[in-house]
Structure 1
Amino acid sequence: APAPPAETLAHQQARLDEKRAQLSDNKRALLQKLLRKAVDLPPAAPVTIPRRPADAAASATIPLSFAQQ
């Protein structure tokens, strides 16, 4: 079966506006607070693999990967 056509950005925004209009005042205020907090968060630091200590690399033989052999 063919995939359904993608929604336009304007249509998605209209649907969100309709859903927000149905919220109670308390829920709308809570949503605004959560959205503001999400914008203020600093970006997450990228996950990195720590380097081996210089003395460990010199004394230990690091095994080759399958592709390197």
Structure 2
Amino acid sequence: MPTDNTAVEIVRIYVLNLTEATSDMSLREVAALTGVDHMTIRAILKGETWPDALTIAKTERGFNRRLWLGPRDLS
């Protein structure tokens, strides 16, 4: 559900984008593709933790697509 909190909204959109990118993959396949531990991916997808910059970079590189939006992208 969208929120007025910009930081939360950016992370929410990242999780939605990551969910879409990983839809047909196991967590271990995602881990192999991105270099991010499968438990970290799981925790991000379940909303248990926020991704750090390295995780964002690795997932974007692994999927060869932009997953993270900045505040300017929300306007």
Indicate whether the TM-score tops 0.5. Answer: no
Q: Which has the higher contact order (CA 8 A, sep 6+)?
A: 2
In our comparison, the structure showing a higher alpha carbon Rg is 1
* TM-score under structure 2 length normalisation: 0.28
* TM-score under structure 1 length normalisation: 0.30
